């Protein structure tokens, strides 16, 4: 007999060349503690690698942790690759994102943007809302 899990599956990913992995590890733990199944890509992924892993792992949401300043180049690229593959997986971005870039990321198809200091409740709720298509 097989049992099917109904837990949300979340890919948390680091795209770009920086080594700021403290936040993404905190986020992974928060989401796991909230009952989600979390897959962490590790550092230095390309948008193509993130897109491929998300499809292979059949995740409900992708969370990008971005502190390098590369978010305007990399996050929309992940969204576009998903669309090119006809996959409707929502993308949430967290990290060092200047306020003026938030509307641009949302316009590019990112579901939500979180900043430093986001509480565990905010992180889990934002991911859950994105998965439900309301974030
Ligand atoms: C710690 C730190 C480092 C550590 C990293 C240790 C590690 N393993 O992570 C070290 C000392 C190595 C480091 C190095 C560098 N750093 Co540094 N670093 C920081 C610092 C002080 C804190 C980051 C942090 O860990 N915060 C704690 C975590 C828990 O918070 P967080 O990541 O923001 O995550 C929270 C939210 O943002 C959100 N979130 C984050 N990701 C996600 C994802 C999802 C899906 C969701 C839902 C939420 C979410 O939820 C989390 C919980 O609240 C920041 C400044 C700052 N105030 O943020 C600079 C900062 C990120 N670093 C910076 C720089 C420039 C560098 C260096 C290039 C410096 C240098 N010249 O050498 C190097 C790069 C090294 C490299 N190879 O990448 C800049 C980046 C500038 C930019 N973006 O334009 C910053 C902003 C400092 C600054 N003000 O200039 N750094």
Ligand 1 pocket, Cβ-based, cut-off 6 angstroms: 12, 18-24, 26-27, 63, 65, 67-69, 92, 94-96, 114-118, 123, 126-127
Average pLDDT of the residues of the chain = 96
What pLDDT was estimated at residue 8? 97
Look up the domain containing 115 and give its range: 9-131
Tokens standing for residue 58? 């059949």
DSSP-based three-state secondary structure for 55: helix
**Would you say residue 2 has pLDDT above 60?**
no
Do the domain assignments include residue 114? yes
CATH number for 84? 3.40.50.280
pLDDT tens digits, one per residue of 32-66:
999 999 999 999 999 999 999 999 999 999 999 99
Which residue has the least CA distance to atom 50 on ligand 1? 118
Do the domain assignments include residue 4? no
What pLDDT was estimated at residue 134? 83
Burial letters for 48-69: b for 16+ Cβ neighbours within 10 Å, e otherwise? eebbebbeeeebbbbbbbbbbe
């Amino acid at each position: 007999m097989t049992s099917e899990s109904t837990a949300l599956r979340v890919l948390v990913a680091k795209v770009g060349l920086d080594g700021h992995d403290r936040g993404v590890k905190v986020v992974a733990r928060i989401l796991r503690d909230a009952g989600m199944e979390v897959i962490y890509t590790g550092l230095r992924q390309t948008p193509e690698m993130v897109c491929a892993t998300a499809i292979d792992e059949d995740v409900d949401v992708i969370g990008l942790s971005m502190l390098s300043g590369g978010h305007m180049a990399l996050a929309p690229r992940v969204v576009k690759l998903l669309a090119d593959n006809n996959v409707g997986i929502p993308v949430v971005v967290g990290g060092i994102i200047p306020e003026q870039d938030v509307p641009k990321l949302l316009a590019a198809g990112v579901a939500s943007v979180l900043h430093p200091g986001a509480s565990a409740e905010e992180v889990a709720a934002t991911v859950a809302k994105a998965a439900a298509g309301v974030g």
